[in-house]
């Protein structure tokens, strides 16, 4: 440092702030301990990018096999509880830390349920939203899973997590917005190398197809007359990479509902309860499958 002339006190000049961004300091009083490391700056920037742009962002990110790449834009503001604020620019991206990440239903992820990644845990979760609009996406940091970072854009899944006004920062599962025994799958985003264990990997959480729908495909009928068999569940489990008891449980659960006292309620609303209502050619169905099982 140079000499100070005439014994004057050195002057500190404030660095000008970015004109189109806001900064809300994180303190122990308003931010959970696990977010005090400025997590927004440590996340790969995915704000306001179209799906086609995510691929190039991830490709650029994985040029280094050991550390994520960052851009030079200022981080999005992180806030604890957000109220509508018309003073903020409409395109401002607010990042809200979730206070109970352990409430995320990680056992619904198929690779966890099937024991392929049994130790998978959610470290941090963040909501991304505009000042007066809904949540546009949710991101999460994953430990001991198939990916390091998880993206959720399906509004039905976001709503099922209970991330809505006024509690944007608390997971409160609403199973009525999920399919029956719904499970999730992780889709690795394009341009990555998941076979390399040293690479930082990003995936998207998607709804997985219900096991009952695979069973209907095997029977080739929308209205099976005979109960499901263990041999069918085992064949389906091998096909989709799941444990057969889980597959059998899901198939039997829907079968009993569609054969019970409220059968019409569930049968006529498969789109809501299963996510699909498949149809099959007339006469292509069940007899062929049953005969093949019993010779």
Kindly write down the DSSP assignment for every residue of 169-205, as one continuous string: T-----GGGS-TT--EEEEEPSS--TT-TTS--EEEE
CB 122 within 8 A of CB 106: yes
Provide the pLDDT confidence category of residue 188 given band limits of 50, 70 and 90.
very high
Q: How far apart are CA 263 and CA 279, in angstroms?
A: 18
Rg of the chain in Å (alpha carbons): 25
> Is 62's pLDDT higher than 70?
no
pTM confidence score = 0.68
- Say which range, 56-65, 115-124, 253-262, 267-276, has the weakest mean pLDDT: 56-65
Cis peptide before 72 (omega within 30 of 0): no
C-alpha 223: how far from chain center: 33
Q: How far apart are CA 246 and CA 257, in angstroms?
A: 17
- Using N-to-C axis directions, what is the helix angle for 211-219 and 230-240, rounded to 10°? 110
Encoding tokens for residue 283? 């006469």
Domain boundaries in the chain?
33-207, 211-294
Q: How many helices (H) and strands (E) does the chain have?
A: 10, 6
CB 250 within 8 A of CB 182: no
DSSP tag of 17:
P
Tell me the sheet residues that pair with 152. Answer: 138
Kindly list the distances between the CA atom of residue 31 and the CA atoms of 35, 38, 82, in Å, as whole numbers in the listed order: 7, 10, 13
CB 170 within 8 A of CB 99: yes
> Is 231's pLDDT higher than 90?
yes
What pLDDT, in 10s, does the model give residues 194-205?
788 788 899 999
Neighbouring C-alpha atoms within 13 Å toward the C-beta of 96: 28
What pLDDT, in 10s, does the model give residues 280-294?
998 777 755 544 444
pLDDT of residue 142: 96
CB 38 within 8 A of CB 27: no
CB 216 within 8 A of CB 232: no
């Amino acid at each position: 440092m140079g000499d100070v002339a005439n014994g004057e006190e050195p002057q500190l000049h404030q660095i000008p702030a970015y004109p189109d961004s806001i900064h809300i300091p994180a303190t122990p009083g308003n931010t959970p301990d696990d977010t005090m490391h400025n997590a927004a700056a440590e996340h790969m920037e995915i704000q306001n990018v179209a799906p086609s742009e995510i691929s190039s962002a991830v490709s650029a990110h994985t040029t280094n096999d050991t550390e994520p790449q960052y851009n030079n834009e200022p981080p999005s503001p992180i806030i604890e509880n957000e109220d509508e604020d018309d003073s903020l620019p409409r395109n401002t991206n607010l990042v809200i830390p979730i206070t109970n990440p352990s409430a995320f239903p990680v056992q619904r992820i198929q690779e966890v349920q099937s024991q392929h990644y049994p130790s998978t845990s959610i470290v941090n979760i963040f909501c991304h939203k505009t000042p007066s609009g809904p949540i546009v996406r949710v991101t999460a940091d994953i430990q001991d899973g198939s990916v390091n970072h998880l993206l959720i854009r399906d509004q039905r899944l976001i709503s099922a997590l209970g991330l809505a006004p006024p509690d944007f920062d608390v997971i409160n599962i609403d199973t009525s917005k999920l399919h029956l025994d719904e499970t999730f799958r992780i889709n690795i985003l394009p341009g990555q190398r998941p076979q390399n264990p040293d690479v930082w990997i990003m995936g998207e959480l998607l709804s997985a197809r219900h096991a009952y729908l695979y069973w209907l495909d095997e029977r080739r009928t929308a209205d099976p007359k005979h109960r499901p068999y263990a041999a069918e569940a085992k064949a389906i489990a091998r096909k989709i990479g799941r444990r057969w008891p889980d597959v059998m449980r899901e198939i039997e659960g829907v079968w009993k509902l569609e054969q019970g006292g409220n059968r019409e309620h569930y049968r006529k609303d498969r789109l809501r309860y299963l996510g699909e209502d498949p149809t099959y050619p007339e006469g292509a169905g069940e007899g062929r499958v049953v005969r093949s099982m019993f010779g």
